[in-house]
A and B are shown apart, each in its own frame.
Chain A
């Protein structure tokens, strides 16, 4: 069975928000749109984004990490948002594991938002409808697009190639390989949600300098030194002995 998902590489994500606005741009005019903005040119503007980057710090100066953490619906294999929906508007597709909302059935009760432990749901206050990431379901199967472009907008946009899209149930997929080789993890596994989206942790590279590295025979200082010596003005044995 297929489970489509995103694998997000925190080792290269610089928090540029490319995924945030490319998502908005595609989806606001797409099947899942529009995505409303409240007070677009006034105080405290706020609107629907299916994907957001949260930035936080870890540690105390100078041992500080700045973490940029992109987050959207994790398309859980056991999605807590689905059983709580009184109308069946929230559902998980058996064929590819994408969790969707049928806007026509949604009554805007927001139970699903309460049930989601990740805060990934986006309520459209203007239309009283719950919205969320669809993994660009209106792109990824569009046969009018070249195959290379049949990916979620955020994945195509990401300048740091920090977003991998694929079937995590297919062990040969790029997404599965990345999870296996780079220690991909799920968010809050203790909730039993089996989040499909995974994250790859930061990986640190160090350079080890050995003492000997500073004492090479090829050191250019020695090179400079060669032939540099001037005759000494002191008397030497060479001046005063003759046997």
Chain B
């Protein structure tokens, strides 16, 4: 530094958004330019470290793909041609609010709002509900809803934001399927520590990449067969007596007696001692055990009782009953290791050994923490014990049509081993655990959608019985995506992946306006991408587009921008306020609740405006009730103001942020709004953490102290214990309805068998639906994607540094596949499914199960998108597997189609894909296929950059030789 140059340099804390991990970052800003982004050592998520994406945030900020002005499709220009003109924000907002006002006053369903990985569902969900449309969801339906639902409906919590493996105390850790991005940095840090502590890490995955690379053992498995493996492990654990009997007896429904009289209308339901008070969303504790001491049925958890887990018994009235566990034992009897070996490709000996390692480590390496606690039944315990076996899984298990039941099997395995919310096992993060299922419920009938009124019920919720479904009198869907209908009853994250197709077809109805935020539905966020792009430009007979009005809000020149009628330029994460809210997905730790914020470190580029401010503005213009004062005046100036002043109910003291509440910031979790809340977050590393007393940090499903604390802080309504659903009576209710044995709602006839089959109260294995509907011999290979650690979705191809790590993708496969089909490493080949084909380059690898081919997710791009030129590798050599995946599958009953999804949750089954491969002709172009017209740059984007870019402190082509490399 010389005396003549005065650099104004400051370091500002905020939260990263290069992926969904939400690490704390410190941003050095010099003379208004971003100089350096580093991990914040004080932040609980990353403790100072930062990943490849995080450090490259600087190249996102200076990306030439930024959209900087509101745009309108030029009147008369065809949609999809990127023919835009600049308009003012006022004109954009006026156009949108007038259109939405009309829709709201006539038929709110005609407006659909779908968002990507946005971290602001508390706000967008509020807006949708207040608007009155049920047609709202975020990306969860095609991400990992099976993981969320499968575990929440089993153990009352789930992986990632709401819980995870306690690697600090674990001795054996098993990671199944791709999960590199959830968590990213914390998982890497904990894995490294776990390995240094001498733990054994087993990776079960068709591919050995990512974290599996450092696993002590890699167990290759065929995609979509994880359920078979887990059931066989459960079989072996039970057969050998390696389960934690004490844990299962006290803390799960294993001993609860089930009616096994097949002719009874309550077949498969729990025996209940008397009618209990209706608590709305928690099940009454009036079930029965068979007590070993007295050899008779007693109330569950009766003092001194020791329940049988096995056997068959007869009640005084002659009813035959069995404990849940007995039914589980019977269920898994047929799932032998030999049976699973055939399906999974893993030898029976290996399956048995895996089960033995898990069971023996859990049993023999027990942890005891000298922490006294009291359980929900009033029993005092002197210590917390734990069995140090833990698991992690996300999309690899979830993105299959059999994923829900697979993940139920995993939840049950974790429970058999006695590892739920115990040291060394799985641990919850606030606000979980929640009741099974949580109390929030979707609307129930078409009458819950009314012109000019907020939606009755939550746009997304957790059905507990057929009565909670969102269907009309005929049992048909009310939501555009058919969520919460009999086709996908527990679709707790919606089915964004079918929104465009359904709207295009007008099934269940056409809509007028579709608003997309940060969701690249014209490319990597849709299955059947080529066709979906056509749907966006298809017209009705009267010349109007089938989806008449499309609003796209994005910070970047994504493929979807081209199809917009109005484009709204969003800010980057360094330019805006955000709240990682307790009302959405906070950053809680095992030790207690935590949330965090983003604050702007640089001003917005051009006319960019945060999408949250747009939502607040629209809510105010539309006079949506929660956006207005009682006197009819506007309540919130902008999003920043809303975060401070919004309360879940007037005077509730619960708002978006849990920290520094109360007039002067003296209260936590609950308290009146604090006008200086943002400043207090900014001063405190942008993060608020609340550490629970040690005695509340474990066994939270059944920990009286914790449950009372959680109720006092409005996290849960009820303090009833949350017993693990080894047996799911809830699923049985749907099955009984399908069998016509239950009062109340029943599925339409054509769906009865589908519901009956899949709503099995005990986990079962079935082949993925795609495999059942296609010719397996014709399409012999499974095709899946993995997530590279240096890229997140489609976001990073615009990033000059990250795209040098992954500029294009290959289809990876065993050399045996190449030998069989006569092509060599690096050759151009075709990958073809029953739905489409892509031309791509192959790469041989010994790190992949020979029946599987795989590629990196979302590297391929449409020509000209993301500010890449038309020669860029992403569009010439990179390819998108999505072209091969259908968003629908035939129902097989002459009743049209279903979503290509899990029949329980609507989770997009994009990992079910089957393909065949063959060499591309020598005369074919050496470029990927399909190709699309090169996307044009749009007004407001900066001109294309040149051949060289030498970035330094905000200058894109700085200096001559510049630095010396000397001190």
Task: State the A residues within 8 Å of B (CB).
Answer: 9, 11-18, 20-22, 24-26, 28-47, 49, 57, 59-62, 64-68, 100-104, 106, 126-127, 129, 131-132, 134, 137-138, 141, 148, 153, 156-162, 202-207, 209, 213-214, 216, 219-224, 226-228
Decide: A18 and B55 in contact? CB cutoff 8 A.
yes
Decide: B790 and A12 in contact? CB cutoff 8 A.
no
Decide: A36 and B949 in contact? CB cutoff 8 A.
yes
Decide: A59 and B965 in contact? CB cutoff 8 A.
no
Hey, what's the 0/1 contact readout for B850-887 against A, CB within 8 Å counting as 1?
Answer: 10000000000000000111011100100000000000
Known: A159-B184, A205-B201, A205-B216. 14 other contacts (CB 8 A): A13-B214, A18-B50, A21-B790, A29-B951, A38-B947, A62-B220, A100-B965, A102-B966, A137-B967, A157-B39, A205-B195, A207-B357, A219-B240, A228-B311
Quick one: given A61-B814, A64-B847, are A37 and B241 in contact (CB under 8 Å)? no
Binds A, one of B185-193, B407-415, B651-659: B185-193
Decide: B50 and A14 in contact? CB cutoff 8 A.
no
From A9, A64, A106, A227, give the contact of B218 (CB < 8 A): A64
Q: Tell me, yes or no, whether B119 is within 8 Å of chain A by CB.
A: no
Q: Main secondary structure on chain B at its contact with chain A?
A: loop
Q: List 23 A-B contacts (CB under 8 A).
A: A11-B195, A12-B195, A17-B52, A18-B54, A20-B790, A21-B55, A25-B37, A30-B963, A34-B963, A38-B947, A41-B945, A100-B965, A104-B961, A104-B964, A126-B950, A131-B965, A157-B49, A159-B192, A161-B189, A205-B201, A206-B216, A209-B356, A209-B357
Q: In whole angstroms, how far apart are the Cα atoms of A137 and B967 in the complex?
A: 6
From B36, B39, B192, B210, give the contact of A161 (CB < 8 A): B192
Decide: A156 and B847 in contact? CB cutoff 8 A.
no
Decide: B46 and A29 in contact? CB cutoff 8 A.
no
Decide: B36 and A34 in contact? CB cutoff 8 A.
no
Decide: A14 and B847 in contact? CB cutoff 8 A.
no
Binds A, one of B104-112, B795-803, B829-837: B795-803
Provide the residues of chain B in CB contact with A17, threshold 8 Å.
51-52, 789-790, 805
Hey, what's the 0/1 contact readout for B191-202 against A, CB within 8 Å counting as 1?
Answer: 111011011110
Decide: A24 and B850 in contact? CB cutoff 8 A.
no
From A37, A44, A68, A214, give the contact of B950 (CB < 8 A): A37
Quick one: given A17-B789, A18-B55, A157-B50, are A41 and B847 in contact (CB under 8 Å)? no
Cβ < 8 Å to A, chain B residues 790-829? 790, 798, 800-805, 807, 814
Q: Tell me, yes or no, whether B212 is within 8 Å of chain A by CB.
A: yes
Least Cβ distance of A52 to chain B in Å? Answer: 9
Quick one: given A16-B790, A28-B952, A57-B846, are A44 and B188 in contact (CB under 8 Å)? no
Hey, what's the 0/1 contact readout for B938-962 against A, CB within 8 Å counting as 1?
Answer: 0000001101111111000011111
Provide the residues of chain A in CB contact with B211, threshold 8 Å.
14
Provide the residues of chain B in CB contact with A12, threshold 8 Å.
191-192, 195-196, 214
From A40, A127, A220, A228, give the contact of B961 (CB < 8 A): A127
Q: Tell me, yes or no, whether B531 is within 8 Å of chain A by CB.
A: no
Q: How many residues of B contact A (CB 8 A)?
A: 104
Quick one: given A33-B952, A37-B948, are A22 and B50 in contact (CB under 8 Å)? yes
Q: Tell me, yes or no, whether B58 is within 8 Å of chain A by CB.
A: yes
From B188, B199, B200, give the contact of A16 (CB < 8 A): B188
Decide: A213 and B356 in contact? CB cutoff 8 A.
yes
Q: Tell me, yes or no, whether B209 is within 8 Å of chain A by CB.
A: yes
- What are the 4 tightest A-B residue pairs by CB atom distance, in nearest-first order? A220-B245, A17-B52, A221-B241, A40-B800
From B184, B198, B950, give the contact of A35 (CB < 8 A): B950
Decide: A25 and B192 in contact? CB cutoff 8 A.
no
Q: Tell me, yes or no, whether B360 is within 8 Å of chain A by CB.
A: yes
Q: Tell me, yes or no, whether B541 is within 8 Å of chain A by CB.
A: no
Q: In whole angstroms, how far apart are the Cα atoms of A67 and B846 in the complex?
A: 12
Least Cβ distance of B663 to chain A in Å? Answer: 35
Q: In whole angstroms, how far apart are the Cα atoms of A105 and B873 in the complex?
A: 37
Provide the residues of chain A in CB contact with B798, threshold 8 Å.
41
Quick one: given A45-B804, A104-B961, A213-B360, are A61 and B847 in contact (CB under 8 Å)? yes
Decide: B357 and A138 in contact? CB cutoff 8 A.
no
Q: Tell me, yes or no, whether B48 is within 8 Å of chain A by CB.
A: yes
Provide the residues of chain B in CB contact with A228, threshold 8 Å.
308, 310-311
Provide the residues of chain B in CB contact with A226, threshold 8 Å.
292
Decide: B871 and A43 in contact? CB cutoff 8 A.
yes
The chain B residue sitting closest to A219, CB to CB, is B241
Cβ < 8 Å to A, chain B residues 481-530? none
Provide the residues of chain B in CB contact with A33, threshold 8 Å.
950, 952, 958-959, 962-963
Quick one: given A18-B51, A159-B189, are A31 and B964 in contact (CB under 8 Å)? yes
Decide: A28 and B41 in contact? CB cutoff 8 A.
no
